[in-house]
Amino acid sequence: MSDNNDIYEFTAKTFQGLEKISASELKKTGAENIKILKRAVSFTGNKEVMYRANYEVRTVLTVLRKIKEFEAKSSEELYEKAKNTEWDKYLDPEESFSIDKTVYSHIHKHSHFAALKTKDAIADYFTGKYGKRPSVNTKNPDKKIHLHISGTKCTLSSDTSGEPLFKRGYRSASGVAPLNEVLAAGIVMLTDYKDIEYFYDPMCGSGTILTEAARIFMNIPPGYGRKDFAFRKFKDYDYRLWNKIKREADKKIKKEIPVKIIGTDIDENMVKIARKNISNAGLRHFITVKQKNFIGTELKNRKGIIVTNPPYDERIKSSDIYKLYKDTGDTLKKGYKNSTAYIFSGNLKALKHIGLKASQKYRLYNGKIDCRLLKYDLY
Ligand SMILES: C[S@@+](CC[C@H](N)C(=O)[O-])C[C@H]1O[C@@H](n2cnc3c(N)ncnc32)[C@H](O)[C@@H]1O
């Protein structure tokens, strides 16, 4: 039985471009030896850090805890070394498991095969020792094991999160192109949201930016409202420690905030969807959403920020998209003096049609899509 003094090695996965924010969030949980990787951050910490990284960090997708790292120059070596692991510290023969894989290797070219070898190694370990073995369940396993191969370096880890952490538990309805919650939180965290009177998403779609913003302003932990975390099924699960961490984080939730959070969308159906998600998140009293065309609107002489993700769907005719971006730029310039606007888009050509000079640019990836978050100071 391990206690809270045991130190583990972790890797937290995130979106490309959010690594630095994830690192600074992780630091606050007590994580040490933080290293920024591509789409991930590695760190060390005890069980408390593991629970807090899952519950309190807004910009990570999954937290993996290292089981073992070794060199393998062939699939046989991978199998032998994977088998030579104390799997009964992590799994019971009655449980089910799955293998997730990330493979970058000329030697282990076929990632499916490498995962299959690892699965066999685990199954054979149990059959040899107990005469029975855990079953494989790819949809809803009790335990998720992660295999990472870089060249000949193999790392086996336990997924401590389970369902990815962007599944906050409030989204029941999504729009056509909803932003991932982790990405939306990261976007808000890149803005200057301190000391503002209002926060406005004029093209709010299903309301992800608004909801994540409200949760940030109110200190609502990202894991608040989630059904479960994989670490609660771990053999070393510490119920008291987890409850203490959750209680302490939940105690910091603010009951009121001085910021007006407003959303609009041209599409009445999206407004309904946004309202539903906001109400699921328990934020109905803090966010107002209305049906409105943003173009031609104004809100002068109030200090606030506009954060939005206009359509960038490739299926929309480019002349229409360019006009929408141009009109958005004109509206911001004429109607939103003294505010700061942040536009997030994966349509880099369309962004040029905003026609304003960006004072800051952030490069982010929405999955494989190369995106920008551009900041415009309006005066
Ligand atoms: C990419 S989606 C936003 C997705 C949103 N961030 C989410 O997480 O669901 C863009 C939204 O802009 C809205 N929109 C397009 N033109 C608009 C306009 N002129 N005024 C207001 N909303 C507009 C669309 O209806 C769509 O819901």
Q: What's the CA-to-centroid distance between 354 and ligand 1, angstroms?
A: 16
Pairwise CA distance, residues 138 & 141, whole Å: 6
Domain annotation covers residue 234: no
* Protein residue closest via CA to atom 27 of ligand 1: 205
Q: Is residue 170 one of the residues assigned to a domain?
A: no
Is pLDDT at 1 greater than 60 in this prediction?
A: no
Give residues (CB < 6 A) around ligand 1. Answer: 175, 177-179, 202-203, 205-206, 208-209, 264-267, 270, 293-295, 309-311, 324
Q: Summarize pLDDT for 68-99 with one digit per residue, the tens.
A: 999 999 999 999 999 999 999 999 999 999 99
* Position 5 confidence tier, pLDDT thresholds 50, 70, 90: confident
Whether residue 93 sits in one domain with residue 42: yes
User: Which of 65, 229, 90, 246 has the alpha carbon at shortest distance from 162?
Assistant: 229
18 part of a folded domain: yes
Model confidence over 141-172: pLDDT tens digits? 999 999 999 999 999 999 999 999 999 999 98
Residues 6+ apart with CB under 8 A from 24: none
- Please choose from 179, 199, 203, 269 the residue to mutate so as to test ligand 1's pocket, defined by most ligand atoms within 8 A of CB: 203
pLDDT at 174 over 70: no
pLDDT, the chain, mean:
95
- 34 is a domain residue: yes
pLDDT of residue 379: 86
* 206 located within any domain: yes
- Render pLDDT for 260-302 as a digit per residue (tens, 0 to 9): 999 999 999 999 999 999 999 999 999 999 999 999 999 876 7
Q: What is the pLDDT of residue 177?
A: 76
Distance 311 CA to ligand 1 centre (A): 6
Instruction: Say what the pLDDT of residue 76 is.
Output: 96
Give the contacts of 322 (CB within 8 A, at least 6 positions apart): 349, 350, 353
- 265 in any annotated domain: yes
- Between 315 and 34, the more confident residue is 34
Residue 12 lies in a domain: yes
Do 145 and 188 share a structural domain?
no
Nearby residues of 294 by Cβ (< 8 Å), 6 or more positions away: 202, 203, 264, 266, 328, 331
* Domain-terminating residue out of 108, 125, 159: 159
Identify the CA nearest to 293 among candidates 340, 335, 241, 260.
Answer: 335
The two tokens of residue 94 are 């009655």
Are 207 and 287 spatial neighbours (Cβ–Cβ below 8 Å)? yes
Dihedrals phi, psi of 44, to nearest 5 degrees: -120, 160
264 and 348: one domain? yes
pLDDT for res 2: 54
Q: Do 97 and 206 fall into the same domain?
A: no
Answer whether residue 229 is part of any domain: no
Does residue 143 sit in the same domain as residue 201?
A: no
pLDDT at 173 over 90: no
Q: Are 151 and 104 in contact (CB under 8 A)?
A: yes
Closest C-alpha residue for ligand 1 atom 17: 266
Q: 344 and 196: one domain?
A: yes
Instruction: Check pLDDT > 80 for residue 315.
Output: no
186 shares a domain with 302: yes
pLDDT at residue 246, rounded to an integer: 97
Lowest mean pLDDT, pick from 13-17, 85-89, 298-302, 340-344: 298-302
CA of 257 to the centre of ligand 1 (A): 26
* Residues 6 or more apart in contact with residue 242 via CB below 8 angstroms: 51, 231, 232
Q: How far away, in angstroms, is 58 Cα from ligand 1 center?
A: 23
200 and 108 assigned to the same domain: no
Structure tokens at 68: 């073992």
Q: How far is it, in rounded angstroms, from Cα 122 to Cα 133?
A: 8
Tokens of 251: 């105690």
The predicted structure's pLDDT at residue 46: 97
pLDDT of residue 338: 87
Task: Label residues 33-43 b or e (16+ Cβ within 10 Å = b).
Answer: ebeeeeebbbb
Same domain, 119 and 196: no
Is 316 a residue whose pLDDT tops 70? no
Does 348 lie in the same domain as 202? yes
Tell me the CATH number at 354. 3.40.50.150
Q: What is the CATH number of the domain that holds 70?
A: 3.30.2130.30
Q: Quote the CA–CA distance of 254 and 111 in Å, as a whole number.
A: 46
Mention every residue, 6+ apart, whose C-beta is less than 8 A from residue 106.
151
Q: How far is the CA of 190 from the centre of ligand 1 (A)?
A: 20
Q: What is the pLDDT of residue 303?
A: 87
Domain that includes residue 74, residue range: 8-159
Please, are residues 46 and 4 in contact by the beta-carbon 8 Å criterion?
yes
Average the pLDDT over 222-246 and give the result: 96
| Total domains, the chain | 2
Which residues lie closer than 8 Å to 326 by C-beta, 6 or more apart? Answer: 353, 354, 355
Q: Are residues 155 and 211 in the same domain?
A: no
End-to-end CA distance of the chain: 61
Q: Span 243-257, mean pLDDT?
A: 97
Residues 89, 38 share a domain: yes
Average pLDDT over residues 330-335: 96
pLDDT given at position 317: 66
Section 325-335 average pLDDT: 97
